[in-house]
Structure 1
C-alpha cells in the first residue's frame, strides 16, 4: 500500500488485494481535513481497515445487482430436489420484483423491513412472508460468503416473525365422520393420516409394497410423485394393528392398484386432488374449523399417542421426527401437567422424613406432622365450596 504524488500534482493511492491484483485511485489531495472522503489517505485507510477486518469487496463485484446474483445463485441451486428448486424460483421471482435492479451493496435493512411490510399488506400469508424473508437471507448469506458484500442486510431484526403453527385436534367422532363421508377410494386417506400419522405427500405415493399386511407395518419409501423422502428418519417403520391392515387392503383388493390411495378410476392421484376432495368433506362436518387440513389428522395421531401415556421418544419415533426437540416444540403442551405430581411427591418425602425423625424423638421445627393432610383437606373444602356456589 502506498501514496505518491504524480507529476500533475494529484495523489495516487494504491494497494494489492489478497489475489495480488492492484487497485488504485487518484485524488486531488493527500489529506483534506474539510472533506476527508476526498483524500487519498482517507481512502487508503478505509481500504486497509476493510482488508484487515475481512470486509473488503472488489468495487467491480460490488456493482453486481440483486437480479444478476439471483440468477447465478439459482444456477448453483439446481442441484437440489426438483420441488425445492421450484419453490426457490417462486421466491426469487418476488425478490427480483422488489430488488432486481438494485446493487447488492445498496440494499439496507430498512429496505428489507419495508419489503416484508408491503408483502403483508398485499395479502400474503404470514408463513409465506416469513419464507420469502428466509430465502432473501439465504441469498445474501451466500453473497457474503462469495465476497460480494461485506455483510447481509437481512437479520433477525428485519424478520417479520414466523407464523404460529395452526393446530386443531379433531375429536375421534369427527375423524370417523370424515372417514364415513369420504368417497370409498379416498377412505384410506383418513386412516393413514389419523392412525399412522402419514403426511399428504406420503399418503398419495404409498404403495401396497410399502405395507406389510401380515405383520402390520407401514414403511414409507417415497413421496409424490415417486420422489425419495426428505430425510432418512421419515423411513422409520410405523406399526399398525391388523384391523387397520384389513381396512387398508380393501381398496387395492377392489381396484388392483399399486397405491393404496387411488382416484375414481383406480389410478394414482396427486396430493392436490386428495386435498380438494378432503376439504369438501371437512367443510360439511360440524365443529371442524375452516381450513382443516389432512396435516391436522397427523396432530390427532400425535395427541392420541400422548393421551395413551407414551413417552417423548416413542412419540418422536412414531411421528418420525428428526429429534425429540421437534416433537416437544410442536406437541409439548399436550403432555399432562406434572407440577402438582412433583409437589405431592416432595411433600410425601418430607412427611416420611418427619415421621422417621419423630420415631427417634427428634422434632422437626416449622413442618407440622400433618402438613400434607391439612393442605389436602383445605383443597378439598375449597373445591366443595366452589361446587356449592356453582
Structure 2
C-alpha cells in the first residue's frame, strides 16, 4: 500500500509498506517528485529488483562473515578469500555506502603497494563475488564492483620460465633426497600439493601410471591438511618407465609397503607443505645458481612445454595437467604451440625440400655416372 499526503508545512510525504509490513517514507518539496519515487519503488517490486533500503546498512564485515560461512570451500580457498575480504578499507561500512570509486581506489592502492597483478586480480574476484551475493540476497540493488579495472597481467610468454636441459640436470644432481619430489613434478606435471599428497597405492608400477587423488594444503605443520585435488584435477598421468624405476628404488630404500603410506616425506617423516618444499627448492636453487624467478612450479611448466613441443594436442595436455577446461590450458600455454605461420613455414619447407631433392635426382640421372 502506498500513499502521498501533503503535510501542514507544505512538504509532500510519500510512503509505502513492504512485503514484511514495514513502512518506508520520504519527503519531497514537489508532489511529482514524491510520485516519481513511489513509481520507481513499484517498478522495482514488479520486476523483482526491490531492495529494502535498510538492508544496505549491514556492514561489509557482517555480511561477508555470514556469506563465507555458507560456502563449501577448501581451506586454501577460504584462506585466500578471507585475505581478500579483510584487505578492503570499508570493512566497517554499510554495504549500501560503498561506491565504485572506492573499489577502484582499493585496487589501485593494492597495485601500488607492490602486490603482483595476478594477486590483485584474485582479491578483486573474491570481492566481486561477495558483492554479487549481496545483490542476489537483495541487500543492495547493484554491485559497486562491476566494471572495475584490474591491473594488467603480463603475457604468459613474457613471464613463464622453462628450465633448460642443462638446468634440469643441475637441479637433479643437487636435489639429494628431495629428488623423487622434483621428478614427479618435472616428469609427471604434478603440482606441489599433489606431489606431497601422493601415496604408495597411487603408483601403478606395471601400468606406469600415477593417480592424482588428493593434495596437501597449508604452509606449516599445524596448518597442513590433506584434501581432495582442485576441481577437475583428479586424473591418471601416464609416465615413462624411467620415472617408475626412480620411484621403485625410492620405495625400496624407504621400506614402503602399505598402499596408504605417503610416498615422499621430509627427513622427519612428515608430509611436505608449502614452506618445507619451498625450503628444499631454495636450497637447490642456491646450489645451482638458478635465478629467483624459477620456482618449484617451473617444473610443471617445463613438463607442459615438453608435451607441447612433442606434438601433443590441447586436450592431451589438459588431461595430463589436470585442468578443468581446455581453455585454461590454452590461456596458460597457447604461446608454446606452433603458430599458423610456423606450421605454414614448416610445411612449405618440407614441400620445397622434396621438390628440390627430386630435381637434383633427375639432374644426376640425366648426367649419367
After TM superposition, the score normalised by the length of structure 2 is 0.82
Describe the superposition over 1:304-345 as per-residue Cα deviations: whole angstroms up to 9, x where unpaired: 111212222222222222222222221121122333644787
Between 144-153 and 301-310, report the one with greater CA deviation: 301-310
Does the residue aligned with 2:70 lie in a helix, a strand or coil?
Answer: helix
Residue 151 of structure 2 is matched in structure 1 by: 160
Residue 364 of structure 1 is matched in structure 2 by: none
Does the residue aligned with 1:83 lie in a helix, a strand or coil?
Answer: helix
Does the residue aligned with 1:260 lie in a helix, a strand or coil?
Answer: coil
Q: Tell me if structure 1 keeps the 8 A contact 2:174–2:287.
A: no
Describe the superposition over 1:216-254 as per-residue Cα deviations: whole angstroms up to 9, x where unpaired: 1101111113211122x4222111122211111222222
- Pick the structure with greater CA Rg: 1
Q: Tell me if structure 2 keeps the 8 A contact 1:204–1:271.
A: no
Residue 206 of structure 1 is matched in structure 2 by: 198
Pick one of 156, 167, 173 that aligns with 1:174: 167
- Runs (4+) off by over 4 Å: 5-11, 162-165, 343-349
Point out which structure has higher relative CO (alpha carbons under 8 A, 6+ apart). Answer: 2
Residue 51 of structure 1 is matched in structure 2 by: 45
Between 269-278 and 188-197, report the one with greater CA deviation: 269-278
Matched, 1:91 2:84: yes
Matched, 1:253 2:264: no
CA RMSD between the two structures? 3.0
Pick one of 40, 60, 71 that aligns with 1:66: 60
Residue 132 of structure 2 is matched in structure 1 by: 141
Does the residue aligned with 1:4 lie in a helix, a strand or coil?
Answer: strand
The structural deviation recorded for 1:284 is 3.4
Distance 1:187 1:143, change over 3 A: same
Please, which runs of 5 or more residues in structure 2 have no aligned partner?
Answer: 217-224, 357-369
Does the residue aligned with 1:3 lie in a helix, a strand or coil?
Answer: strand
Please, which runs of 5 or more residues in structure 1 have no aligned partner?
Answer: 350-372, 375-390
Query: Using the alignment, how far apart are the partners of 2:208 and 2:242 within structure 1?
Result: 9
The structural deviation recorded for 1:28 is 6.9
Q: Tell me if structure 2 keeps the 8 A contact 1:10–1:26.
A: no
Residue 363 of structure 2 is matched in structure 1 by: none
Distance 1:182 1:347, change over 3 A: closer
Query: Using the alignment, how far apart are the partners of 2:161 and 2:323 within structure 1?
Result: 19
Paired positions, count: 340
After TM superposition, the score normalised by the length of structure 1 is 0.78
Q: Tell me if structure 2 keeps the 8 A contact 1:216–1:239.
A: yes
